[in-house]
Amino acid sequence: MSTTALSTSSVGTPLVGVWLIGARGSVATTTVAGCAALAAGLHAPTGMVTETPPFTDCGLPTLSSLVFGGHDTTSCPLPKRAEELAAGGVLPYDLPSAVRAELTAADAEIRPGGPLPGDTRTDDELIDSFAADLRGFVRRRGLARAVVVNVASTEPLPADGDPRLPASSLYAAAALRAGCPYVNFTPSSGLHHPSLAEATRASALPHAGRDGKTGQTLLRSVLGPMFAQRALAVRAWSGTNLLGGGDGAALADPAAAAAKNAGKERVLADTLGTTPEGAVHIDDVPSLGDWKTAWDHIAFDGFLGTRMVLQTTWQGCDSALAAPLILDLARLTSRAHERGLRGPLPSLAFYFKDPDDGSPAALGEQYGQLLDLAQRLRETR
């Protein structure tokens, strides 16, 4: 990536780009508005792990040095999306006007995504065009580097033998072509598509995924180890999610929901050492908007086979849970790139439902690995 003509933030640090795929979605809009609010000191960084003491002096880019852009297939301006989110109670009511300038600046850096129906470009032409958008962003804004973060609608799993790459993999390939580190916050294929395996290895760029762990799976990654460590036998673990918004609508497609649920169920198998009975359901309830209710019903046996049940109800605002993690991931991945770390970053498993093979599944162990990464990022070469 070019290091000439670098721009700096108001406090003199190099600017770092965050290129959001799905840049006009709820998570992306909350990320851009939230970053501006924190950088201006309007709100405390609640939910941001990288703002806690273990991450001080790790050389992470400051929040005021992050510059946003991205791709999306819709055209609704970001300030308007922020107003919609404020009307739904996702953003504080006065935030869209307070950070209008930052939303407008990010909006100017959003390029048309694809492929839209009727687009006749080949996969390679699409990748080239997305990579050119990324290179243009880095050059125009004088960035030291840019991290690509996928927060677009969840795709169905690709059909076996389909010669075309799914959109998420086209963008991931474009990140490689433009020399950008890559984070997949969704269950979509992204870099995991088999036909990208060789290019991913050859690029040696740091990358992390998949699917942000913000609610039900976060709880599962804490409760699963508890049952295992206390030698309590889980007989069945069933879950239901009710949510609306764009994510709820996308997950109403059974094929997209299957991609999402695979990660939710994997954490149980990995922490319990066995797959209990029970399934996960996702119901689209449009009137809930971005507010999700996740209910888990856990049937387990205690001493002498005594039957017991734990039920949990999680009521969260999805974008408010996800946005601080996007900022954390962008900062950590950017610093990893700067420090010359290569390939998958399993130490970021803390953030994902379906992390890279070989990472622990229990949240406590994942946090330990994240702290080790913080230490590596702190060390000078």
Residue 158 binds ligand NAD (CB under 6 A) = no
Give the contact letters, 59-88, x = binds to ligand NAD (CB under 6 A), - = no. Answer: ------------xxxx--------------
Residue 192 binds ligand NAD (CB under 6 A) = no
C-beta of 141 vs 264, nearer to ligand NAD: 264
Task: Single out the segment in contact with ligand NAD by CB under 6 A; choices: 5-13, 176-184, 279-287, 318-326.
Answer: 318-326
Report in angstroms how near the CB of residue 318 gets to ligand NAD at its nearest. Answer: 3
Report in angstroms how near the CB of residue 251 gets to ligand NAD at its nearest. Answer: 7
State which of residues 15, 21, 33, 268 lies at the interface with ligand NAD (CB under 6 A).
Answer: 21
Report in angstroms how near the CB of residue 23 gets to ligand NAD at its nearest. Answer: 7
Residue 152 binds ligand NAD (CB under 6 A) = yes
Residue 212 binds ligand NAD (CB under 6 A) = yes
Report in angstroms how near the CB of residue 6 gets to ligand NAD at its nearest. Answer: 28
State which of residues 16, 24, 158, 331 lies at the interface with ligand NAD (CB under 6 A).
Answer: 24
Residue 217 binds ligand NAD (CB under 6 A) = no
Give the contact letters, 339-358, x = binds to ligand NAD (CB under 6 A), - = no. Answer: --------------------
> Residues touching ligand NAD: how many (CB under 6 A)?
29
C-beta of 185 vs 227, nearer to ligand NAD: 185
Give the per-residue SS3 of the chain: CCCCCCCECCCCCECEEEEEECCCCHHHHHHHHHHHHHHCCCCCCCCCHHHCHHHCCCCCCCHHHEEEEEEECCCCCHHHHHHHHHHCCCCCCCHHHHCHHHHHHHHCCEEECCCCCCCCCCHHHHHHHHHHHHHHHHHHHCCCEEEEEECCCCCCCCCCCCCCCCHHHHHHHHHHHCCCCEEECCCCCHHHCHHHHHHHHHHCCCEECCCECCCHHHHHHHHHHHHHHCCCEEEEEEEEEEECHHHHHHHCCHHHHHHHHHHHHHHHHHHHCCCCECCEEEEECHHHCCEEEEEEEEEEECHHHCEEEEEEEEEEEHHHHHHHHHHHHHHHHHHHHHCCCCCECHHHHHHECCCCCCCCCCHHHHHHHHHHHHHHHHCCC
